Structure 1
Amino acid sequence: MKAPRVIAHPSRPQMARALADALAEALRRAIAARGVARIAVPGGETPREMLTRLGEAELDWPRVVVTLTDERLTPPGHPRANETMLAGSLLAGRARAARFVPLRGAGDGPDALEAARRALRERALPLDVAVLGMGADMHAASLFPGARGLEAALAPDAPPLCRIDPEGALEPRVTLSAPTLAAAPERHLVIAGADKRAALERALALDDPRAAPVLAVLGGAVVHYAD
């Protein structure tokens, strides 16, 4: 695996500003090269400020396609849904003009999953940029160690979207598969706090994506860290 590049930022607000600027520039480059830019972004609290800042960037947002790295299978509008967080951060600003591709169809059955896969293939892939968070358990997106569905989502021939059932979670999830995320030529991992930095070091020492799924998307990525 190509080693990731780690950037230590002086503070979390400075990390949010720097990463938002870097992502805006990456999207501009993709639009200039291909006429469209495709980005997948995470849920959670750590990236919220960055996503809000990115959403206010001066970009040709109608040429940007936005999707999520993963989603909880909750009812629409549920406060735990990543889509709800995105609506109040990135898509609350200028980026509301972007084209958003959700990760779920109507319901959580096989037909809904296949419909979401079809929409991703037709509208949101291949990704130009993937932005990911990481948990202290070394998961990224919803690629959780030990979760039912992890092996299928890590497989080289995995479909773009996979169902994942993490042990002890309040709801099942869907996640972009490891090969779909790893194929993005520009990948950024956002972590905050000493526990996340320690988890990253543990993952790099393990060298096993089944135990530390973040490794499946980490090679050649840029890691942004702040205390």
Structure 2
Amino acid sequence: MKLIEYPDAEMMMIDLANVLAGELEQCLLSHDRASFAVPGGTTPGPIFDVLCGAKHIDWARVDVMLTDERRVPEDHERSNTRLIRERLLVDAAAAAHYVNYIPEDDAGLATKADALRPHLPVSVMLLGMGADMHTASIFPNSPDLDHALTTDQPLAFVQPPDGLEPRVTLSANVLKGAMSRHIVIKGADKRAALEAAQKVSPQEAPIAAVLAGSTVHWAEG
């Protein structure tokens, strides 16, 4: 794991957006297409705001996917898909192809997984981390934790321990297989969680499953 500290969050978001843009551009120099996995939530929005205007990227050759999503309609206020449609898949990045792997029902997961496989391994991945040390939708204390951590399938259904909407997540196998992986976190609480995660198992801290080989970007606030 490589840790990069920034003097403030604004600088971190701009610098990280530029790093991601550079990696996507570099990938496209040697591959026909690049896959780009991103999280939802509040943290990555400013990164998307910078990245979407990167006109030097051939966005028509980029396949964008979420690292996880709530099983809610796309226009729902808690939808990650809504977030990236409003803040990432706009401006120059509107030309990107969105890979929607959210099944309409439980029976559709295998079909969506098959459609996702041609986009793997993920070329460039951005992850977040909660103060509880979850990443994507792989949560400690979830009844689906072991399955999400160990399945060979690219997707997993997860019921979060908070009892809110069930989710679909990229499995730990897919997260670990990314060609380039960045984790972005803010605040003293998440820095403490990161340090704790390095000392325990993925069952206690799912983020621990992907720290090896990752670059972690942190700012105080």
Regarding TM over 0.5, the answer is: yes
Matched, 1:193 2:184: no
Aligned residue for 1:30?
Answer: 27
Which deviates more, 164-173 or 80-89?
A: 164-173
Aligned equivalents of 1:39 and 1:76: distance in 2? 19
- TM-score, normalized by length of structure 1? 0.94
Q: CA deviation at 1:102?
A: 1.3
Residue among 168, 173, 183 paired with 1:174:
168
Are the aligned partners of 1:61 and 1:94 in contact in 2 as well (CA < 8 Å)? yes
Residue among 124, 128, 149 paired with 1:133:
128
Matched, 1:118 2:114: yes
Q: CA deviation at 1:167?
A: 1.4
The AA in structure 2 aligned to 1:153 is A
Are the aligned partners of 1:152 and 1:158 in contact in 2 as well (CA < 8 Å)? no
Aligned residue for 2:17?
Answer: 20
Are the aligned partners of 1:73 and 1:108 in contact in 2 as well (CA < 8 Å)? no
Aligned residue for 1:203?
Answer: 197
Residue among 5, 9, 14 paired with 1:8:
5
Aligned residue for 2:76?
Answer: 78
Matched, 1:142 2:140: no
The AA in structure 1 aligned to 2:26 is R
Aligned residue for 1:66?
Answer: 64
Aligned positions of 1:34-113 closer than 5 A: 34-58=31-55, 59-105=57-103, 107-111=104-108, 113=109
Q: CA deviation at 1:17?
A: 0.5
Aligned equivalents of 1:126 and 1:57: distance in 2? 23
Paired positions, count: 219
The AA in structure 2 aligned to 1:110 is A
Are the aligned partners of 2:125 and 2:181 in contact in 1 as well (CA < 8 Å)? yes
The AA in structure 1 aligned to 2:115 is A
Aligned equivalents of 2:193 and 2:58: distance in 1? 37
User: Is the partner of 2:156 in helix, strand or coil?
Assistant: strand
Are the aligned partners of 2:121 and 2:179 in contact in 1 as well (CA < 8 Å)? no
Q: CA deviation at 1:197?
A: 0.3
The AA in structure 1 aligned to 2:78 is R
Matched, 1:220 2:220: no
Aligned equivalents of 1:221 and 1:109: distance in 2? 32
**Ranges in structure 2 where 5+ consecutive residues have no aligned partner:** none
Q: CA deviation at 1:79?
A: 1.1
Are the aligned partners of 1:71 and 1:103 in contact in 2 as well (CA < 8 Å)? no
Are the aligned partners of 2:139 and 2:206 in contact in 1 as well (CA < 8 Å)? yes
**Greater than 6 Å deviation, 4+ residue runs:** none
RMSD: 1.0
**Ranges in structure 1 where 5+ consecutive residues have no aligned partner:** none
- TM-score, normalized by length of structure 2? 0.96
Aligned equivalents of 2:131 and 2:27: distance in 1? 32
